[in-house]
Copies of this chain bind each other. A is one copy, B any other.
Amino acid sequence: MPSPPNLTSTSYVVLGLVAGCDGMTSYEMKQLVACSIGYFWPFPHSQLYAEPHRLVHAGLLTEETEPGGRRRTTYRITARGRRALADWLAVPSTEPTEIRDLGLLKLFFSAQAGPDQRAALADVQHKAHLERLREYQELREQVGPLATPEALATLEMGMRFEQLAVAFWAEQTDER
């Protein structure tokens, strides 16, 4: 039962969630992720079933499956799990931000396409980011008072990025 640094970022997402609210099911993680980090860091829900198992095997979580009914599995964090999370949080990571954006990628190659297609791209992107910004605003109103200041800060960052993107694509639209 080794706890080597085979831990991926998904591992820490799970550890962080379970540490914050002990006794969680995968489905509850899915819910939480869907209205928080899932916006920036999307991944399929199957990860939230596979990853906890790995962490149990590594001794960082324990699992308990209810006998009847939905037979859902509840996870709790162990002392070693808490330590692994703390160790990770203690190191202030310098890895650069990854911005994966198909729109930007298409823009980058849009010399291969016509200017009309580039304009269409800019238009669609502009609208999409506006919409996303609206979602964030709504989210902040709904979740606002309940959320931790840290979660709110993250959301704030997301909103500023969307504002930036809205402005950027608007310029791309104007620009002949």
Instruction: State the A residues within 8 Å of B (CB).
Output: 9, 12-13, 16, 19-20, 36-37, 39-42, 85-86, 88-90, 92-113, 117-118, 120-121, 123-125, 128-129, 132, 148-151, 153-154, 156-158, 160-161, 164-165, 168, 172
Contacts and interface: CB of A to CB of B under 8 A. Distances in A.
The number of times this chain is found in the oligomer is 2
A103 to B, nearest CB: 6
A132 B96 contact: yes
A92 B125 contact: yes
A97 B89 contact: no
Contacts of A42: 96, 98
A165 B20 CA distance: 26
- List the 6 closest pairs (A to B, CB-CB), nearest first: A16-B109, A92-B124, A89-B113, A98-B100, A92-B121, A97-B101
Given A89-B106, A102-B93, A104-B154, A16 B172 contact: no
